[in-house]
Chains A and B, each alone.
Chain A
Amino acid sequence: MRLPAPPRPRFLRPAPPRPGRNGANGRNAAPETQKPTAKDTAVEGAASAIGWLDERTGATPFVRYMLYRKVPKGVNWFYTLGSATLFAFLSQAVTGVFLAMYYEPDPTRAYESASRITNEVFLGELVRGMHRWGATVMIVLIFLHMGRTFFFGAYKYPRELNWVIGVVLLVLTLAMGLTGYLLPFDQRSFWATVVAVNINASGPIVGPYLADFLRAGAEFGPTTIARFYALHMLAIPGLIAALIGAHLYLVVKLGVTAPPWLKAEKKDLLREEI
């Protein structure tokens, strides 16, 4: 099956045939007799592989829509902050998986395993460092992205829901920072977490329950660290990934805002009306 060619940006379009060459005018030229070149074979192969996939998944119209949907004119570098946040999240996920291969969420072994990762495991310190500083980078990016959508008025009709999802993502990202901080189980992280949970406990109504839930009891006990670990590497990131999905679905469906200082021209608006 041959797919109709998608509308390609100019630099991707094949150059028109040069005048005077074989088949220049298309019509009365002799049919091509040359053997297909290696390039032709490669292109043909790729096309048929894509055709194979498409026949079974129907994915091409979707991919084509994603790539060729229009983005309003005037979008600038500020619009990359959202995808950069997404990228930082992915980086956290990947480095996190590698850390999880060596980390042991047990109060008697957590610190030892963290220290083994730092000092013995091949590239362990680099991966731990990337996970640590990646958290900082992600927090900075998420705040910048939120600032962008705020100052551009992107939270207004029809994108209110996307803002709400975004705020939930912000809270969950901060929760990642909180739950992850305890895991290396050194003095600093332990006591900072004790204080943070105590702060939680001083909240009205749900505060004490939330604190008990986090600590797995009235005091920091042997299961606290396992609980933080489960939240940090399963529950919260799962939620974040799902919500990012919803967030991006809405971005694609509604389109990103045009920069707020751009206005459609009168004549275009009028033409639209007819």
Chain B
Amino acid sequence: MNAREREQYLREYSILKNQGKPFLYSVAKDSVMACITLGVIILMAVLFGAELGPKADPTTTTYTPRPEWYFFFLFELLRVVKPPSLVFLATVGIPTICLVLLLLLPFFDRGPERNPLRRPIAVTAGIATIAAMAYLTVLGALAGAPSEIELATAPQFERGKEVTASAGCLACHKIGENGGTLGPSLTHIGDRLGRDAIARTLVNPTPPMPSYQAYRTQNPKQFNELVNYVASLKGEN
């Protein structure tokens, strides 16, 4: 907007403003909206309550690292970026860039036009962003809570399978048909990594995967069964 357009806008705005009604009239609408807001909050509180899971225990790993739904889009972003060297792009890179772009929006989108029908680029970009975030949120919601592994297993690994299922790996990894897609699929991990490499990964993982160091020191037997089971996950065997 150049100086003339700015002045034009201010003049036009002051006319439209003078033709409007006092703020007092908007207060009525705002109050109705406030009542609806409070009503929805109370309704949700009554319907869904305030759930409280088992107490946090830093030593066990039978947990589901699932954020609040409004962080799903950030969490799921990790899924799109696979190579480890690029993980920081997904964890902080892309969100930071998007945030800076959002913050500076008024300074690069400076055209005088305000009507959405005549701002095709801005509106398309806005809708694309909303669609992307909605898509990632839905993906996150569908990943579901980790619980069990349906993949068939040789009997000597049954124990390890149970341990793995309850250790929370499925929150981020797919094993067979179950699990989330945040981390790489583990269905055929045995083809690529041996026992020791998997144990090393568990003790010293790349973020955001949590470390299972404490788990190993406290439950060495389960840890071994888990590693054996994961190492046994091979393609056709």
Contact call A153/B44, Cβ cutoff below 8 A:
no
Task: Return the contact of B16 from the options A72, A141, A184 (Cβ within 8 A).
Answer: A72
Contact call A134/B21, Cβ cutoff below 8 A:
no
Q: Which residues of B contact A261 (CB under 8 A)?
A: 115, 117
CA distance A126 to B32 in the complex (A): 23
Q: Does A258 contact B (CB under 8 A)?
A: yes
- Closest A residue to B57 by beta carbon equals A187
List B190-211 residues whose CB lies under 8 Å from chain A.
207-210
Contact call B116/A152, Cβ cutoff below 8 A:
yes
Contact call B126/A150, Cβ cutoff below 8 A:
yes
Q: Which residues of A contact B52 (CB under 8 A)?
A: 111, 114-115, 118, 184, 186
Q: Does B114 contact A (CB under 8 A)?
A: yes
Q: Does A18 contact B (CB under 8 A)?
A: no
List B63-108 residues whose CB lies under 8 Å from chain A.
63-71, 74, 87-88, 91-92, 96, 99, 102-103, 105-107
> Given A80-B33, A194-B65, A199-B91: A178 and B71 within 8 A (CB)?
yes
- Closest A residue to B36 by beta carbon equals A84
Q: Which residues of B contact A125 (CB under 8 A)?
A: 49-50
Q: Does A209 contact B (CB under 8 A)?
A: no
What distance in Å separates the Cβ of B163 from its nearest Cβ neighbour in chain A?
17
Contact call A129/B49, Cβ cutoff below 8 A:
yes
Task: Return the contact of A71 from the options B20, B48, B54 (Cβ within 8 A).
Answer: B20
Q: Does B113 contact A (CB under 8 A)?
A: yes
> Given A188-B64, A269-B15: A160 and B20 within 8 A (CB)?
no
Q: Does A23 contact B (CB under 8 A)?
A: no
Contact call B25/A190, Cβ cutoff below 8 A:
no
Contact call A156/B106, Cβ cutoff below 8 A:
yes
Bitwise, A248-273 to B at CB < 8 A (1) or not (0) is 00000001011011111000110010
Q: Does B42 contact A (CB under 8 A)?
A: yes
Q: Which residues of A contact B115 (CB under 8 A)?
A: 153, 260-261
Q: Does A164 contact B (CB under 8 A)?
A: yes
- Closest B residue to A124 by beta carbon equals B50
- Closest A residue to B26 by beta carbon equals A71
Contacts A/B (CB < 8 Å), 16 sampled: A7-B22, A9-B25, A68-B24, A80-B26, A80-B29, A84-B36, A126-B42, A134-B41, A136-B68, A153-B114, A163-B106, A198-B207, A202-B208, A260-B115, A261-B117, A264-B16
